[in-house]
Structure 1
């Protein structure tokens, strides 16, 4: 999983991000390049296009949803099959789950790794990252960053690997 999460757990509002962090966007690109991204329709709509260098799998209940260049699935099992097949085609070692809130909640129990950006802000929002027990994971990276000229807030990169 890869997500930017405010200190209060919020990840978005009205199908949009609540901050701009160029440093986080660069990290997102680096971690997801050459890998399949599994996301929900609202997340895909907020991006508005397939991301270059990645296979996109969108999980949606909307049977009419069929954007060009995107694999569409209507249940989690099919979405995971499509994403794993894309990983094999790309020679990728993992499938990345990229949101939104409902998709994170559906797949958190499957996540072997979490790549989180903790945004040091507490905005109001309608979408949150699901809570998880930190005892289930081992922290493998923590990098503190001050807000820079292209970053709205200070933030911390935190990576976790599932124990066991």
Structure 2
């Protein structure tokens, strides 16, 4: 699925990601904001991280959790690595996305959480970068790119769920 992205789509995504990378502590800021948005959309996702489902996502509990903060930053680093692989290492990227899909299925992530994560990512970027950078064209490019990346993950996730 990632193979089908156009040069223009990839360019829009990479340019906006580069703008995000220029923000001080972008990994922590983007990661925490992304997960807060995800938890707003999918309270059940909190359980996957050992948080009670009724936890206020805007409390300091999440921000002060070293384990959680490390995971949030790791996710941003993984997105960064994935974006750097668009184009030159597309086959390897597809293999990595498949492996991540299976891994997330084993951890109890639900298939519908992938789209919620994508929406949370785009919302977090829009908050941090503003609509000047995250305009309609860029947001559409992100939806397309994230959809392709997560599509490869979901493909393997479904196989895992079916026992294949």
Q: TM-score, normalised by structure 2?
A: 0.29
**The structure with more helix, counted as a fraction of residues:** 2
Q: TM-score, normalised by structure 1?
A: 0.29
